[in-house]
Amino acid sequence: MSGAVHTGLAAPAHERRALRDPLVAVLVGLCLAAALGLVLGRPAPYLVNAVGQLAAFAILAVSLDLVWGYLGILSLGHGLFFAIGGYVCAMHLLAHGTVMTGTLPDFVQFMGWKGLPAYWAGLEHAPYALLLALGLAGLVAFLFGLVAFRSRVNGVYFSIISQALVYVAMLLMYRNDTGLGGNNGMTGFPLLFGWPMGAPAVVTGLAVAALLTLAAVLAGARWLVGSAVGRRMLACRDDETRLRTLGYSTTRLKLRVWCLSAMIAALAGILYVPQVGIINPRVLAPDLSIEIAVWVAIGGLGRLGGAVIGAVLVNALKFWLSAAMPEAWPFILSGLVLLVVLALPNGLLDLAGLRIRPSWASGAR
Amino acid sequence: MSALVIDALTVAFGRFRALDALSLAVDPGEVRAVIGPNGAGKTTLLDVISGITKPVSGRVMLGDRLDLTRCSEAQIARAGVRRKFQKPSVFPVLTVRENLAIGCGPDMAPGAREARIAAVLGEVGLAVRAAVPAGALSHGEKQWLEIGMVLAAEPGLLLLDEPVAGLSDAETARTAELIGRLRRPDRAILVIEHDMGFVEAVADKVTVLHEGRTLYEGGMQGARRDARVIEVFLGR
Amino acid sequence: MAHLTRRGFVGSAALLAAPAIVRPAFAADTVKLGCLFSSSGTMANIEGRLNHVVRMAADEINGRGGVSGRTIEVLTSDPASDWPLYAQIGRQMLQQEKVAALFGCWTSVSRKSVLPVVEQNDGLLFYPLHFEGDENSKNVVYVNSPPASSVLPAVDYLMGPDGVGAKRFFMIGSDYVWPRTINKQLKGYWKSKGIPESAWREEYVPFGFSNFQTLVNQVRSFASQPGGQPIVVLTVVGSSIPDFLREFANQGIAATDVPILGLDMVEADLEGLDTAKLVGHLNCWAYLQAAKGERNQKFLADWAAYVKAKNVPFSADTVIDPMVSAYDSVHLWALAAAKAGSFAVPEVRKAFAGLSFADPSGYTLTMTGENNYVSRGVFIGSVNEKRGFDVLWQSPDAPKPVPFSPYG
Amino acid sequence: MNRLRAVLAVLAMLIVPASAAPLERAALAADLCGDGAAQARGSERVVQAATDASTDELAAAGRLLAALAERRLACGSEGALILDRAGAAEGHDALTGATRPVAEARAPVLGLRQRALVETARAAVALLTGESVAARAAGLATLERRAGAVPDTILARAQAAETDPGLRGSIAGAAQAAALSSPDPDKRRAAVAAVAAAPSGAALARLRALRSEPAAAADLAFAQALDVGIASVERAVRIGDGLAILYNGLSFASILFMAAAGLAIIFGLMGVINLAQGEFIMLGAYATFGVQEAFRRLAPSLLDLYLIAAIPVAFAAAALVGIVLEALVLRHLYRRPLMSLLATWAVSLFLVNLVRVAVGTQNLQFAMPPYVSGGAPLYADFVVTWNRLFAILFAAATLALTLLVLRRTPLGLDIRAVTQNRDMAACLGLPTRRIDRLAFGLGSGLAGLAGVALCPIYSVNPGMGSGFVIDAFMVVVLGGVGSLMGTLVAALGIGGANVLIEPLSGAVAAKVIVLVGIILFLQRRPEGLFAARRRR
């Protein structure tokens, strides 16, 4: 079935879904309003930056929710794709800075190189860097997904193996000889599109870009899960063998969504790095990848809006509490997770009375 | 030409041989029942035909060209093989209609699909339940919905794994009648069932499996008289 | 959005009861300093102490009437060993809380993470750790020594007749910039002394690495080869330090066979170890607990009293270099601010030139206007039986810091 | 200036005839209280005098040297004082033995070069005057390491005086080996054989150095003896290195196994990914610390046994926490394995921070009993370290006991039944919920045991457990879910592979290669090494 055709008998189903998920529309609206507010209201740069980072995290959470909530694949390695986006973005910023200012990044000087290595060629051009980031994330996801899905690795096995993958990547990137800054990673980005990095306009611009991207990703993801492909994703999540014996190549379906999700995660990384000003292998720590899953679970698994709410809530709390109540934050986080996992199977959306899908829908996971 | 030829098929789980050099041929238009005690290898047989389990040796020929043991589940399904599982396997969060739409398979044109869904809804008697999520259906309704899903793509070979397990007598009779209606000259049907009355009602021929091998093949009447069959079913 | 922890823990109920009276009065004659030291995560054990030292120093200054009549208020946080969070909280402190200076970071990467933040906001970060050098930001005060002014004198000592006449070197480091820079500079230094490349070996291990059996075997076979006295230059960090020492001692290699120069080794790393078999191994810092002099005695006593009074969850009788460096940092800032008569960063920075502070190490710290580095003394410590270090050697005076090494 | 002083010191030693040097106590004390050169001179003099000095004189010199090495020597204007412990307020006069208070004294710190000389001198004194055979043997061992630093007359004197026949033989061997450069060709050849009899990398280096000297070229028989000796030492060193690799692999594997064993049971039985398993290890280690503190308070004389006594305590503590966790949290999540994964992650976060707040972040101080500290050279350069041996034996015992529980007890039978077919077991009336809880307790308890075994090896702090989880899961998944033997084989394989690859490509690359290898293997065989295929 092609996703675009919703004529005749299929239409009521489509409408039902749209009516049942007003949250996404609300969130998209909020994103746009917030972007407008940042431009017009000019709040403190610190706040603008925080909002921008939260938007990047929300994009990351949506990317995971697509594969976990809708396809039943819990990736504990999504930090890898986030990092790919982040690293390529950092490379672009440094290459751009080198071209504009003529000084080499300090880690390049440290490695004793005379200039940027050959594979950095062209990275100073933003469109190429964007393509490279998305392409690389997609390629890595494709290769990993191909072997994993073809050999039918799924469930907790997939989670463990994806975690091992991100762990391996972390070990590799910590190695100094890998050549991307090792433990210190990359930092000290001077310019963005020729503008000085810390300028208020740049900070606002980045935050607005992140918000708009979030809105677009949400709308796009919403369209996807509402389409025929989305129904196949749910079918695959709930009974993969059944779907396969009806003539569908679930490997191909999973691979496509998986690669798409990886690219969205890379997009989040691209938006994140210029806002925090550093990328280092820490983002590849298995803990961070688990945390992404925690955001999704807290907000509400299998609800795009839930992922956004979870990511924003947890990270806003983290920003605030790690300064305000540093001792209490880990306890609050672990308590929140346990509360959600035990009492609110559909995440905090349960509290808001917005529970849509009946509880048996999440029973298999 | 047979619709399905199974040739010296062997399946092993560790040291246990679930199927042991089994051979079997089903003609087009035939309804074949496979019966046998628990552990005889009935479900394994369907697993191999539908591509879920790969055999150690042997072939499963669909028509005279396609060896199903070399195909993926999806390829097998697209070649016109559909299977109804023992446990009703429907997609609980999707509505009846959406389930059937997926049952039509990936290749059907959108226009044809809507017509087909409407037809199947009538055939399995779920037209009034079309907008209900499948998870909310009763057990019997789920069985019929699944039969509808496997019918939607008009399969040439239909595999039914215990279609009346857990159904009431009335529902069983209705299912038998439904299968009777499914019979077509270009369609072979393979049924696994424990309910002997049901088997007698629907099947042209029965194959009795025991410990992965064919114990008997022929009419149901003959099976009832066969000494070995009696021993296997009653002797323990 | 953010209310950072207030010094002296004012109960929130009291704040709520009389906010109008307490807070403006409190805010008018205080000046805020921010801390960026993790009290959770991988760095918690060593980094967490520094929060308390900064508070202690601030208390001391407040006890003498504060800075230019203002009381210092210390804000602490927990970046949880999460590098981007250092930048995030640093930004929050500078922009939201308007702190006059930041004191923070242990690892190079956390400093690199905060660096753009202080540069963009023209803040001041006092960095209390020795590090790889090759950096000179006008917004960072490098309170501890770069390698050229601390490590090279120590290695020189070991190569000389008073040391062990070291001829061969086995370098083991954690795989990141600091160890690699140190080793690069050492190799450059040895080359300049005409030592052949065959006289050294270099190995790197991942962070948190603990299985040192193979490496210790390699050290043993390296040591048994001819060519002169071998030493180990150890630049692993964190939990790898005690794990390496334990394996080294268990395999029966004594300091008199192959001494270890542990460049990041502090008393805290010996906490869980039986040091009887480790006696004689060396470290090298700008301060050692065993430093002589009344100033040190007073500092040790003050710290012990502070730990007791404030119920600080760290050992009362262990003091390590970064603690003293953090303490020095607060004093240097206070001196500069008092001298400038302002808390504005450009004014304070101008006041650095010619600043001097007699710190617990016994040396007098000085700053010149040339850069933001601080002259410190050099100590070589020798592990003793009591999980501490004896002062084996110390520099006659505080050498002028060399931010950019001449050796690579 | 310093060099000049050193040269003078050497000259002085050459001028003073060794045999005539009396061990003048006052002069020795003054030297040891002096600068580095004087300390070196003093300890050299003890070595030189050791051939002739009386045992009393030597013993007194030994006390002075020991005091210096241990920083118990207080030097003041009134002469040196020997303290009972470093920093004591009073001590015994080095000459008269009279007790007097420490006044304006300084305790010299030994430089490394001086420390080596003092160590040699103390070893010579110990060899000649040691009360016990062990003390004398320890002295001999140190002198053997410093080949060439002591006159062979000391060994001759020790050999003559030695009462223990075994030790006398060792001394004779050492004396023989010391004669490598002797002018007597027979002695030289005997020395080669003696050196080859105690093979090590250092011995190999000595022989090789000798082989390239002119003496070897001139004396054909000596050269041949050297070649034979070098060949045999080379072979022995290779064997020793091989043994070391084997041992390292085994010890790493045993750690992996212990971290993974409990996980294998839990994962196999319930399909729960317990990310808090590392924290159970940490709890076991903290329980061990608690037992140590209790022993310190209640039975200080039995302190060395605390590690043994901690075994049941650590097991019980971790098992109890595990059972509570199961009852409060995981029980509700059996149908949602991925949610239980997040829940256990939260629990691990909670436990780490609870311990951090309650106990602190610092490494715990363990008093390591002799059976887990140090090691013994076994063959060539291969040293058996007791802490690792403890872990290996501990892992073996854990394996045996766990197998016993699983194969021979009703609980074990139940666990295996539920692991293989939960629905069938439930149909047969097994209380699967209770079995789950007990099994979870067992799995957690095993992690607690791992905590005991890791105390002598790793630093114990709240974060110690986090490093184990991924490795442990790779072991479980590679071994095949629900198969303890699979877990064992996987642990051995991963441990061995890591140790083999590490010297070739470094520790990071070794880890990466092994992990990638596992991932690729699992793509080919998702059910792991040892799991039976299951039907859908």
D115-163 pLDDT, tens per residue? Answer: 889 999 999 999 888 888 888 988 888 888 876 677 878 888 888 888 8
What's the whole-number average pLDDT of chain B?
87
Give the per-residue pLDDT at A2.
36
Phi, psi of D461 (to 5 degrees): -150, 170
Chain A residues closer than 8 Å to D353 by CB: 330-331, 334
Least confident of A219-223, D61-65, D83-87, D304-308: D83-87
Q: Are C282 and C290 in contact (CB under 8 A)?
A: no
Q: Looking at chain B, which residues constitute the CATH 3.40.50.300 domain(s)?
A: 1-80+155-236
> Å from D340 to nearest chain C CA?
23
Give the per-residue pLDDT at A260.
97
Provide mean pLDDT across the span B126-142.
89
Give the per-residue pLDDT at D357.
86
D349 touches chain A (CB under 8 A): yes
Provide mean pLDDT across the span C283-292.
92
Instruction: Tell whether the model's pLDDT for residue A66 goes beyond 90.
Output: yes
List of domains in chain C:
12-144+293-375 (3.40.50.2300), 148-290+380-394 (3.40.50.2300)
> Å from D330 to nearest chain C CA?
26
Give the per-residue pLDDT at D535.
39
Provide mean pLDDT across the span A316-325.
83
Provide mean pLDDT across the span A345-354.
70
Taking CA atoms, what residue in B is nearest to D532?
Answer: B14
Interface touch B131/A13, C-beta < 8 Å: yes
Chains A and D are touching, with contact defined as 3 or more CB–CB pairs separated by less than 8 Å: yes
Under the banding of pLDDT at 50, 70 and 90, the label for residue C7 is very low
C120 touches chain A (CB under 8 A): yes
B84 touches chain A (CB under 8 A): no
Instruction: Tell whether the model's pLDDT for residue C31 goes beyond 60.
Output: yes
Of residues B209 and C331, more confidence is placed in C331
For chain D, the distance separating the N- and C-terminal CA atoms, rounded to the nearest angstrom, is 85
**What does the domain layout of chain D look like in residue ranges?**
2-129, 171-239, 240-466
Q: Is A4 inside a domain boundary? A: no
Interface touch D532/B47, C-beta < 8 Å: no
Interface touch A322/C87, C-beta < 8 Å: no
Interface touch C176/A183, C-beta < 8 Å: yes
Domain coverage including residue A30: 23-288
Interface touch D535/B47, C-beta < 8 Å: yes
Under the banding of pLDDT at 50, 70 and 90, the label for residue C97 is confident
Give the per-residue pLDDT at C9.
34
Taking CA atoms, what residue in D is nearest to C312?
Answer: D360
Under the banding of pLDDT at 50, 70 and 90, the label for residue D35 is confident
Interface touch A278/C79, C-beta < 8 Å: no
Instruction: Tell whether the model's pLDDT for residue C207 goes beyond 70.
Output: yes
Chain D residues closer than 8 Å to B53 by CB: 535
Provide the domain count of chain A.
Answer: 1
ipTM above 0.90 for this complex:
no
Give the per-residue pLDDT at D80.
84
Of residues B40 and B5, more confidence is placed in B5
Instruction: Tell whether the model's pLDDT for residue D520 goes beyond 60.
Output: yes
Provide mean pLDDT across the span D514-535.
75
Q: Among residues of chain D, what percentage have pLDDT more than 70?
A: 94
> Å from D527 to nearest chain B CA?
13
Please count the helices (runs of H) and the strands (runs of E) in chain C.
12, 15
Name residue B84's beta-bridge partners: B160
Nearest-CB residue to A175 (from C1, C175, C408): C175
A183 touches chain C (CB under 8 A): yes
Residue D158, both tokens = 């020790």
Q: Which residue has the tokens 């150690």?
A: B56
Q: Give the whole-angstrom CA distance, residue A354 versus residue A23.
A: 9
Provide mean pLDDT across the span C16-45.
64
The answer to whether the Cα torsion of A212, A213, A217, A220 is positive or negative is positive
Give the per-residue pLDDT at D443.
92
Interface touch D535/B14, C-beta < 8 Å: no
Instruction: Tell whether the model's pLDDT for residue C131 goes beyond 50.
Output: yes
Taking CA atoms, what residue in B is nearest to A2?
Answer: B110
Highest mean pLDDT among A36-50, B107-121, C78-92, C335-349: C335-349
Tell me which of B81, B85, B91 to substitute to probe the interface with A (most A C-beta atoms closer than 10 Å): B91
Under the banding of pLDDT at 50, 70 and 90, the label for residue A64 is very high
Nearest to C92 by CA among C194, C166, C179, C4: C4
Interface touch B102/A235, C-beta < 8 Å: yes
Interface touch C115/A188, C-beta < 8 Å: yes
Instruction: Tell whether the model's pLDDT for residue D482 goes beyond 80.
Output: no
- Neighbouring CB atoms inside 10 A of D47's CB total 23
Interface touch A46/C119, C-beta < 8 Å: no
Long-range contact set of residues A212-216: C-beta below 8 Å, sequence gap at least 24: A212/A31, A212/A32, A212/A35, A213/A55, A213/A59, A213/A267, A213/A271, A214/A31, A214/A55, A214/A58, A214/A59, A214/A62, A214/A308, A215/A27, A215/A28, A215/A31, A215/A32, A215/A35
Give the per-residue pLDDT at A8.
32
D452-476, pLDDT tens digit by residue?
999 988 888 888 888 888 888 889 8
D325 touches chain A (CB under 8 A): no
Instruction: Tell whether the model's pLDDT for residue D341 goes beyond 90.
Output: no
Q: Among residues of chain B, what percentage have pLDDT more than 90?
A: 19
A201 touches chain C (CB under 8 A): no
Under the banding of pLDDT at 50, 70 and 90, the label for residue A6 is very low
* Chains touching A (3+ CB pairs < 8 Å): B, C, D
Residue B42, both tokens = 């009935």
D173-201, pLDDT tens digit by residue?
888 888 877 778 888 888 888 888 888 88
Provide mean pLDDT across the span A264-268.
97
Provide mean pLDDT across the span C37-51.
83
Give the per-residue pLDDT at D531.
64
Least confident of A37-41, A353-357, C245-249, D47-51: A353-357
Least confident of B164-168, D70-74, D103-107, D393-397: D103-107
Provide mean pLDDT across the span B173-178.
85
* Chains touching C (3+ CB pairs < 8 Å): A, D
Instruction: Tell whether the model's pLDDT for residue C333 goes beyond 50.
Output: yes
Nearest-CB residue to B97 (from A9, A239, A250): A9
Chain D residues closer than 8 Å to A334 by CB: 346-347, 349-350, 353
Provide mean pLDDT across the span B18-38.
87
A13-30, pLDDT tens digit by residue?
443 444 356 888 889 999
Chain C residues closer than 8 Å to D374 by CB: 249-250, 252, 277
What's the whole-number average pLDDT of chain C?
86
Tell me which of A9, A245, A255, A355 to substitute to probe the interface with B (most B C-beta atoms closer than 10 Å): A245
Least confident of A311-315, B54-58, B157-161, D6-10: D6-10
A243-260, pLDDT tens digit by residue?
999 989 999 999 999 999
A290 touches chain D (CB under 8 A): yes
Instruction: Tell whether the model's pLDDT for residue B236 goes beyond 60.
Output: no
Name residue C72's beta-bridge partners: C31
Give the per-residue pLDDT at D156.
86
C153-175, pLDDT tens digit by residue?
889 888 988 788 889 999 999 88
Provide mean pLDDT across the span D373-387.
87
C297 touches chain D (CB under 8 A): no
Taking CA atoms, what residue in D is nearest to B86?
Answer: D536
Interface touch D339/A293, C-beta < 8 Å: no
Query: Which residues does B contribute to its contact with D (CB < 8 Å)?
Result: 13-14, 43-44, 47, 52-53
Under the banding of pLDDT at 50, 70 and 90, the label for residue B234 is low
What's the whole-number average pLDDT of chain D?
85
Q: Rg of chain D over CA atoms, in angstroms?
A: 30
Q: How many Cα atoms within 13 Å fall on the side-chain side of residue A208?
A: 16
List all residues 6 or more positions away from D173 whose beta carbon is below 8 Å from its beta carbon.
D194, D197, D198
Provide mean pLDDT across the span B128-142.
89
Taking CA atoms, what residue in C is nearest to D248?
Answer: C213
Interface touch C45/D511, C-beta < 8 Å: no
DSSP-assigned letters across all residues of A183-194? GG-EE---EETT
Give the per-residue pLDDT at D8.
53
A235 touches chain B (CB under 8 A): yes
B86 touches chain A (CB under 8 A): no
> Å from C297 to nearest chain D CA?
15
Give the per-residue pLDDT at C145.
87
Instruction: Tell whether the model's pLDDT for residue D323 goes beyond 80.
Output: yes
A127 touches chain C (CB under 8 A): no
Q: Which residue has the tokens 């921008």?
A: A52
Residue A304, both tokens = 């795009």
Q: Is A142 inside a domain boundary? A: yes
Under the banding of pLDDT at 50, 70 and 90, the label for residue D289 is very high
The order of strands in the sheet holding C140-142 is C71-75, C30-36, C101-104, C125-127, C140-142
DSSP 3-state percent helix, strand, coil across chain D (nearest 5): 75, 5, 20
Under the banding of pLDDT at 50, 70 and 90, the label for residue A334 is very high
Name residue B7's beta-bridge partners: B59
What are the strands, taking DSSP E only, across A162-289? 186-187, 191-192, 195-196, 278-279
> Å from C78 to nearest chain A CA?
5
Nearest-CB residue to A241 (from B52, B104, B117): B52
Match domain B1-80+155-236 to its CATH number in 3.40.50.300, 2.40.170.20, 3.40.50.1820, 3.30.1490.20. Answer: 3.40.50.300
> Å from D106 to nearest chain A CA?
45
Of residues A57 and D180, more confidence is placed in A57
